[in-house]
Structure 1
Amino acid sequence: MIPILQISILCFALFAGISISSSSEEEETIYKILQDNGLPSGIFPKGVTEFTFDGETGRFSVYLNHSCDAKYETELRYDTNITGTLSSANVTDLSGISAQDLFLWFPVKGIRVDVPSSGLIYFDVGVVRKQYSLSVFETPRDCVAVRRENEVESSVLSLHQVDETLGRNVI
């Protein structure tokens, strides 16, 4: 009976040790990975549902529930899937983020922080590099769902159909 009691105590101690060590580990997030690579966590909005990151190549994918817009010094639009390559203070081969300038949307191809003490972050939008204050991107922003043009058209069509059934033609 004593050996059974000793085995039971040993098993309990092992399971308790496993649960304690797993709860003390910090869950890695895309925001933490950005910070570990010298980038501010706010370059991605709140609401990241899932992400993948290959530490060897730096390739990442970030997933959001829906496309959305976030307001910084300018407005940024995030697709549901954002991909790129992460290296020290630099994101290259970026897709899934667009920046608004003069009522036009330009795809952001890269993001870089030259010297953190400069307080500047640069967005490569193809033709030019847009410069922003690094402090603006310190924390992730709320992101408002984007309503696509085809959604607007379909809602107008359904309004038109409702009006036809009522015998009116508003549109």
Structure 2
Amino acid sequence: MAFPSAIFIFVTLISLPTSLFAIADDEKLSAYQALQQYDFPVGILPTGMIGYDLNRETGEFSAYLSGTCNFDIDSYELSYKSTIQGVISPGRIRNLKGVSVKVLFFWVNIIEVIHDGDEMKFSVGLASASFPVDNFYESPQCGCGFDCNHLDALVSSS
């Protein structure tokens, strides 16, 4: 009688949704590795991501920082909330919440990011800007962006 119960267990296992196995795989990946699986460079997220939740069936995600994160890159001032949310698919993040950029004197939300060939396109609704993808191979750091050596030198000289 052990044979029918073995068949039942086998049938049960093969009928489990594949998303359960994908969730188990996600636990092994960092937020940056998961991002790369969707064809995005790690540099669209700052260093210090402490976790994420991802529904592989719908693409809905939440990514977490330990607090808010602000930094300057070139002439742009960026702000990340402690929770970033959106819907991700290969090469596209839409319905993005929690990331904003200062344009002139106003903060505007970045609502979509598209990776198209050698470019990254960031949309704030009616306007968008494109940048070379190689600008995003390294993650910026909260507080100092990519100019952290300058900040380290100031701290060391104190």
TM-score (norm 2): 0.69
Identity %: 30
- Show the counterpart of 2:82: 80
1:124, CA displacement in angstroms? 0.7
- Show the counterpart of 2:41: 40
TM-score (norm 1): 0.64
Q: Deviations over 1:64-85 (max 9, x none)?
A: 1111113334222100110001
- Show the counterpart of 2:95: 93
Q: How far, CA to CA, are the matches of 1:33 and 1:27 in structure 2?
A: 10
- Show the counterpart of 2:129: 130
Of structures 1 and 2, the larger Rg is shown by 1
Contact 1:45 1:70 in 2 (8 A): no
Q: Which amino acid aligns with 1:103?
A: F
Q: Which amino acid aligns with 2:106?
A: L
The secondary structure found in structure 1 opposite 2:96 is strand
Q: How far, CA to CA, are the matches of 1:27 and 1:136 in structure 2?
A: 27
Which of the two has greater helix per residue?
1
Long gaps (5+) in structure 1: 1-25, 146-171
Q: How far, CA to CA, are the matches of 2:72 and 2:34 in structure 1?
A: 23
The secondary structure found in structure 2 opposite 1:140 is coil
Compute the RMSD of aligned alpha carbons: 1.7
The secondary structure found in structure 1 opposite 2:125 is coil
Q: Which amino acid aligns with 2:90?
A: S
Whether 1:143 and 2:142 are equivalent positions in the alignment is yes
- Show the counterpart of 2:151: none
The secondary structure found in structure 1 opposite 2:116 is coil
Q: How far, CA to CA, are the matches of 1:133 and 1:103 in structure 2?
A: 25
Aligned length: 117
Q: Deviations over 1:70-107 (max 9, x none)?
A: 33342221001100011011000100000122132110
